[in-house]
Amino acid sequence: MPKLNRDGVDIYYEVHGSGPPLILTHGYSSTSAMWQGQIAALSKHYKLVLWDMRGHGQSDYPENPALYSEALTVADIAALLDAADADKAIVGGLSLGGYMSLAFYRTHPERVRALLIIDTGPGFKKDDARDAWNKRAHETADRFDREGLAVLKSLSAERASVTHRDATGLARAARGMLTQRDASVMEILPHIKVPSLVVVGADDTPFLAASDYMAAKIPGAEKVVIPAAGHAANIDQPKAFNDAVVSFLDRLDTRQQQKAAS
């Protein structure tokens, strides 16, 4: 599988199928392998791009903490779309991957055809809530430094079974990519102008209110709750998840065909 060199940092990615481009970004401390249950369904009619964020999986784990940030992750997504010859794409992800998809829209709205926001939060308006989140992110980083990859075994499904070379990248990614600096992603929600699907597992309690908030704030957004699913709705209930996403994408294609014909 190919790697993309980003100023000395190799980013691992996979391309499956052909058609309109669709890029999916995994959650923090997971990898592109979390989308295995989606490849057959989504690559049937789309060029599906999957990748490992820096510090994760088969991508590089640079030692410089400055090489882990929201801005660099957004730039990585843009470079991956360039590598896949995609001027515009359906952009989506789970948890941190969904947040980075929203951040990508904020920076490159002209490159986004639609958004898939899965088991994700849009950030925080209040400084104290953001500070509490960041404190937990730093505690997670410290735990990876102390305990290594053994930490993953106590985490949710999309992380417990994945492969990383070591825990150093995950610790740096927690400090540089999982932490948040402002409310800029949350503030973009009312200004999103592309079709958006918000997906959440019915049992993903920490993200239910955030999903309601995004569905209410993003103009015209659709929301699907996946029964009997937790934070990794696509792993817990792959058929229900795939059906919801494919239905949304089919309607997206229909709308765009009607628009072109009018």
Of the pLDDT bands very low, low, confident and very high (cuts 50, 70, 90), residue 98 is very high
> What is the residue type of 67?
L
Which residue in 89, 111, 92, 113 sits closest to 102, CA to CA? 92
Tell me the per-residue pLDDT of 5-53, one tens digit each, with 9 for 90 and over.
999 999 999 999 999 999 999 999 999 999 999 999 999 999 999 999 9
pLDDT of residue 262: 66
In this structure, how many other beta carbons lie within 10 angstroms of the beta carbon of residue 135?
A: 11
pLDDT of 160 higher than 70: no
Question: Residue 57, SS3?
Answer: coil
215/218 Cα distance (integer angstroms): 6
Q: How far apart are CA 206 and CA 132, in angstroms?
A: 14
Q: At 230, give phi and psi (nearest 5°).
A: -100, -140
Average pLDDT across the chain, whole number: 94
Provide the β-strand partners of residue 225.
200
Task: Please report which confidence band the pLDDT of residue 169 belongs to, taking 50, 70 and 90 as the band edges.
Answer: very high
Q: Which two tokens stand for residue 223?
A: 């929301």
Mean pLDDT of 196-212: 97
Q: Which of 100, 86, 118 is nearest to 52 (CA)?
A: 100
- pLDDT at residue 254 is higher than 90: no
Q: Which two tokens stand for residue 31?
A: 């990898």
Q: What is the pTM of this model?
A: 0.95
Give the pLDDT mean for 210-214. Answer: 97
Q: Which residues, other chains included, contact 257 with Cβ-Cβ below 8 Å and sequence gap of 6+?
A: none
Give yes or no for residue 257 having a pLDDT over 90. no
